[in-house]
Amino acid sequence: MQATDEVEISVIRIVDDTLSLVDAITRLQASGQVDYAEPDYPLSIDATPNDSSYNILYGLHNTGQSGGTSDADIDAPEAWDITTGDSSVVVAVIDTGVQYDHPDLAANMWTNPGEIPGNSIDDDANGYVDDIYGIDTANGDSDPMDDNGHGTHVAGTLGAVGDNGTGVNWDTRLMALKYLDSSGNGLTSNAIELLNYVYNMKVSHGIDIRVTNNSWGAAVSASRSTMPSPRPSPPASCSRPPLAMMASTTTPAPTTPPAMNWTASSRWLVPTATTMPTTIPTMA
């Protein structure tokens, strides 16, 4: 078995082809070194409206313009009266990548201060060559350009340039992290590599990453999600640096057998530092 570990999340390759999945997980959890193990599930983007201009963001300020309930939104205008963001704060967009040269995003893109573009050298010694905007684990390179569109849509909602586009934070820095391919699909192991990248850049390179955005999940059936032991409860606190992990929320799909979208249907958050609530209300 091979494992890499930066944030106590490891990708382990089982080299014994005769070992069943359930037996492998049982042995790992019985070793006393693993709290929870699961297969390398395929993941995919969460669906978004097919809006070519993305100019009716009712989630920010809902006047009923799309037939919805007025004021069923995040009260963005009220928040903007307090702050429109901070260009020193980095948000890591873990998705299909980001079109980092988009006119509404280019000025708010994070760029790696320790890397010299195009010199084919790992200047900051973080294990990645020319990772200027982030990395791409779907294709195994350092160019997280979006070839699907979902990640760019998400990035625009999070941090489009103020008075040019309309994002929640007019002033922020968006780190582009790609593990989902052009069809919107990817593997858990590639997402884990991105989380390790975030942790490494925050702790070892001083990048002020405050949030990761995770608008994706896995449709896991009841039978598929049955493991030798239940998922562990998240800790009330830990010593890791502060980092909020945000995910979209959906209701379970009406399938047979029943399925849920993990992590999108999660009933709890995974705190990475300080004292945080370990439960959240059921959301849809």
Which of 74-88, 95-109, 143-157 shows the lowest mean pLDDT across its residues?
74-88
At 193-245, the pLDDT tens digits run 999 999 999 999 999 999 899 888 776 544 444 444 455 555 555 556 667 77
142 pLDDT band (50/70/90 cuts)?
Answer: very high
Does residue 254 surpass a pLDDT of 50?
no
Q: How far apart are CA 181 and CA 247, in angstroms?
A: 19
Average confidence (pLDDT) over 129-143 = 97
pTM listed for this prediction: 0.71
For residue 21, which of 35, 41, 5, 44 has the smallest C-alpha distance? Answer: 41
Question: In terms of pLDDT, which residue wins out, 151 or 28?
Answer: 151
Average confidence (pLDDT) over 141-149 = 96
- Of these ranges, 173-182, 207-216, 255-264, 273-282, the one predicted with the greatest mean pLDDT is 173-182
| Token pair for 215 | 């608008």
Q: How far apart are CA 98 and CA 95, in angstroms?
A: 8
Does residue 256 surpass a pLDDT of 60?
no
Which of 35-49, 82-96, 262-276 shows the lowest mean pLDDT across its residues?
262-276
For residue 172, which of 220, 222, 263, 108 has the smallest C-alpha distance? Answer: 108
Q: What is the mean pLDDT of the chain?
A: 74
How far does the chain reach from its first CA to its final CA, in angstroms?
39
Average confidence (pLDDT) over 253-282 = 40
Beta partners for 162? 165
Does residue 141 surpass a pLDDT of 60?
yes
121 pLDDT band (50/70/90 cuts)?
Answer: very high
SS in 3 state form for the chain? Answer: CECCECCCCECCECCCCCCCHHHHHHHHHHCCCCCCCCCCCEEEECCCCCCCCCCCCCCCCCCCCCCCCCCCCCCHHHHHCCCCEEEEEEEEEEEECCCCCCCCCHHHECCCCCCCCCCCCCCCCCCCCCCCCEEECCCCECCCCCCCCHHHHHHHHHHCCECCECCCCCEEEEEEEECCCCCCEEEHHHHHHHHHHHHHHHHCCCCCEEEEEECEEEEEECCCCCCCCCCCCCCCCCCCCCCEEEECCCCCCCCCCCEEEECCCCCCCCCCCCCCCCCCCCCC
Greatest C-alpha distance within the chain: 61
pLDDT of 249 reads 57
171 pLDDT band (50/70/90 cuts)?
Answer: confident
Q: Where are the domains of the chain?
A: 41-262
The CATH topology of domain 41-262 is Rossmann fold (3.40.50)
pLDDT of 118 reads 94
pLDDT of 186 reads 93
